[in-house]
Structure 1
Amino acid sequence: MKINKILALLTVLISINAVAQNGRLREKREQIKALKVAFITDELALTPDEAAKFWPLFNAFEDKQQEIKKQKLKAYINRMDDDSFYKLTEKDASAMLNQMEAMEDDLYQAKKKFINSLKGVISPIKILKLKKAEENFNRKLLQQYRDKKLGR
């Protein structure tokens, strides 16, 4: 009887901890997104009119990209646990590669569509600056993460 109570209490504590960590993770993602918006806005020097048209397109593209990546990761993880990975048949491996290629193509098509939609909103120079700004932001974010991990 005591063991059941302890197990129930332990389960509740683990659940509370998981929810708290999920909340912190969501908060961190929102902070990063806000920093990215500020960084890109500054780098592109968007006018208010451009920003009003640009951000809905950008956010829709980011959402689409995340959705595709999430599907890709989910499909990969579902098939790649240790046991099943080493038991893949050639047919299964080929099907998995085809699925991965299709998702990469989906990402490419989404990016192509996004760039085409931007052409009517911002100049080609700003579209190129966007690519560079995203790369620079990601590089800075990664460097800050490394510095934090190394305690600098």
Structure 2
Amino acid sequence: MKQLLIPIITLLISVNAYSQRPDKEKVKALKIAHITEQLDLTAKEAQAFWPVYNANEDAREKLRATSKFKRPESIDALTEAEAKTHLEGIVSLELAKQQLEKKYYTELKEILSAKKILKLMDADRSFRRKLIEEFKERHRGERSHRKKQ
């Protein structure tokens, strides 16, 4: 398993080197490779897992896209009624996220062991961390390049 980690990291770095803004499909492919390597799924598990995983990702994206609640520029400028409406919207969005997560983990328990679900959670977090680190590293390089000019 660890032998696959180096090629995946290399692939992640090379994709980011060729593109200032990696497109969603490239990131998705890297994430799939990372999760596959981390979970060590059997063929039967993978066949059942990926449709559930992808449906959940789509539902999360839809929830984010339909969320009307943006952070106000100034909380002090809000009226009490506006603040109350905003707060209720935040609570409603959080409840929808929790319901989505509960449904997702209920479906996953029928496919994967609890240990593999925990590994999935770790794999999602570690992938996000890698992307953030790659982003930071790329922007550090851009800043130092600009300073030299």
Bin for the TM-score computed over the shorter chain = 0.7 to 0.9
The answer on 1:37 being equivalent to 2:32 is yes
The answer on 1:149 being equivalent to 2:139 is yes
Which of the pair is proportionally richer in helix? 1
Q: Distance in 2 between matches of 1:87 and 1:147?
A: 37
TM-score of the two chains, using structure 1 as the length reference: 0.74
Q: Give the % identical residues.
A: 36
The offset of 1:91, in angstroms, is 1.1
| 1:46 paired residue number | 41
The offset of 1:88, in angstroms, is 2.2
TM-score of the two chains, using structure 2 as the length reference: 0.75
| Higher alpha-carbon Rg | 1
Instruction: Provide structure 2 residue ranges, at least 5 long, that are not aligned to the other structure.
Output: 1-19, 143-149
The offset of 1:92, in angstroms, is 1.4
The answer on 1:113 being equivalent to 2:90 is no
SS in 2 for 1:46: coil
Q: Distance in 2 between matches of 1:36 and 1:111?
A: 19
Which letter does structure 1 place at the counterpart of 2:25?
Answer: E
| 2:147 paired residue number | none
Of structures 1 and 2, the one with the larger relative CO (CA 8 A, separation 6+) is: 1
Instruction: Provide structure 1 residue ranges, at least 5 long, that are not aligned to the other structure.
Output: 1-23
How well do the aligned residues superpose, as a CA RMSD in angstroms? 2.0
The answer on 1:59 being equivalent to 2:49 is no
The offset of 1:87, in angstroms, is 4.1
Question: Which residue of 53, 68, 76 maps to 2:70?
Answer: 76
The offset of 1:131, in angstroms, is 0.3
Which letter does structure 2 place at the counterpart of 1:60?
Answer: A
Question: Which residue of 100, 104, 119 maps to 2:90?
Answer: 100
SS in 1 for 2:111: coil
Which letter does structure 1 place at the counterpart of 2:134?
Answer: Q
SS in 2 for 1:75: coil
Structure 1 window deviating more from structure 2 (38-47 vs 60-69): it is: 60-69
Which letter does structure 1 place at the counterpart of 2:33?
Answer: A
Q: Distance in 2 between matches of 1:107 and 1:122?
A: 21
The offset of 1:64, in angstroms, is 0.9
The answer on 1:124 being equivalent to 2:119 is no
